[in-house]
A = this chain, B = another copy of it.
Amino acid sequence: MFYIRIFQAKIKNIIIYTIKLCIFIINKIINKKTQNNILPSYSPSTIKKSNYMDNKITRLFNIQYPIVQAGMIWCSGWELAAAVSNAGGLGIIGSGSMYPDVLKEHIQKCKKATSKPFGVNVPMLYPDIDKHMDIIISEGVKIVFTSAGNPKTWTQKLKDHGITVVHVISNSKFAIKAEEAGVDAIVAEGFEAGGHNGREETTTLCLIPLIKQCVTIPVIAAGGIGTGRGMLAVMALGADGVQIGSRFVASDESSANIKFKDKIITSNDGDTLLSLKKLTPVRLLKNNFFDQVQQAESNCASSEELTKLLGRGRAKKGMFEGDIDEGELEIGQVAALIKEIKPAHAIVEEIIAEYKLAKEELNKSTW
């Protein structure tokens, strides 16, 4: 009986040990599964990681979010560019409405206002483009967005100075040309965008997949994007980043006149239309000037008559000086979704928060 008791005790110990071992193994399995699936956001390192959106565009520009603020005439000076860059996006000074010395001043102020990367947009139709490019190079600007012209003209010279070059296009033909010219990325801008626009009228929803098919460099989607949902939609289409204009026009730091900003936040769907197609197609917010253009066009006005009607300084009059009746008000269709003037950093944060929320929502469905 003594032996029996010893063996009973041993059996008990062995069983307890085996059960403990099994519980240990089970716990290990459960923990591993849980770590893989539920808890990544709880560790400080992953929190930091979740605020940096690592992709081709953030790496190209060395920024936090793949959000580029469009360089726009009369709206995007150094204050807006610096504010967007400080918020983790890429701010862009719109040089199209600046004399060379004004551009120089804006670049210098922007450098003081942010230690983060920022860029300059150069419409290549600008008469003083040589002077602009000289200033950009001598001031050590690191990123240039070119538009409205042949991407071959300036790309190599800018790249020789170590500048990252991005070209804006609205069709696959120019996307291929831009890649051949050696640009680092493309902005593919759809029909819904504000201001000057392509003649093909291809919308962002159709344009992004078309452009992704014909180039290998990163593609930044533009036109119709002003929210996190819009950003998620174009990322789903294959875009590597977004360029946002209209939403930033209605920001505190934009140099647009407050009357123009107020008109944007009270506009509805159908309040913009692509206009002046006989000259250069441009998306305008409807006002008295727009009505005059429509009237002239329905009366079959010639290019000369339209040029005369447009006159000089219409865009400055409307967007910068605030003559919202007689000025030219360039804005995108997405204006109808903008309901509040906010600081640029709040806009960036709102877009990122909505992007994440929309992605979570999309993932709620099991399919």
Is the C-beta of A131 less than 8 angstroms from some C-beta in chain B?
A: no
CB distance from A14 to the nearest CB of B (A): 6
Number of residues on chain A facing chain B (CB within 8 A):
75
Contact A333 B206 (CB under 8 A): yes
What B residues does A18 contact at CB under 8 A? 15, 18-19, 22
> Nearest Cβ distance between residue A142 and chain B, in whole angstroms?
25
- Residues of B within 8 Å of A171, CB to CB, are 269-270
Q: Which of B14, B205, B225, B229 contacts A224 (CB 8 A)?
A: B205
A198-247 with Cβ < 8 A to chain B: 199-207, 209-210, 213, 223-225, 227, 229-230, 232-238
The answer to the question of A39 belonging to the interface, with a C-beta cut-off of 8 Å to chain B, is: no
Residue of B nearest to A228 (CB): B236
A269 and B200 in contact, given A205-B224, A230-B205, A367-B356 (Cβ under 8 angstroms): yes
Of B15, B46, B337, B362, which is within 8 A of A235 by CB? Answer: B362
- Count of this chain's copies in the oligomeric assembly: 2
Contact status A337-B210, CB under 8 Å: yes
A205 to B, closest residue via Cβ: B224
- At the interface, is chain A mostly helix, strand, loop or mixed? helix
Candidates B49, B200, B203, B270; contact of A200 at CB < 8 Å: B270
Inside 8 A of A172's CB, which chain B residues have their CB? 268-269
Given A15-B14, A19-B22, A26-B29, are A192 and B205 neighbors across the interface (CB < 8 Å)?
A: yes
A274 at interface (Cβ–Cβ under 8 A)? yes
Q: Which of chain B's residues have a CB closer than 8 A to the CB of A337? A: 206, 209-210, 213
CB of A336 within 8 A of CB of B210, answer: yes
- Determine the distance from Cα of A234 to Cα of B236 in the docked complex, in whole angstroms: 9
In the complex, A55 has a CB within 8 A of chain B:
yes
Say whether A8 faces chain B, with CB atoms less than 8 Å apart. Answer: yes
Residues of B within 8 A of A336 (CB): 202, 206, 210
Does A259 sit within 8 A of B, measured CB to CB? no
CB distance from A28 to the nearest CB of B (A): 10
10 nearest CB pairs, A to B:
A300-B300, A22-B22, A200-B270, A205-B224, A203-B203, A233-B233, A232-B236, A7-B7, A206-B333, A233-B236
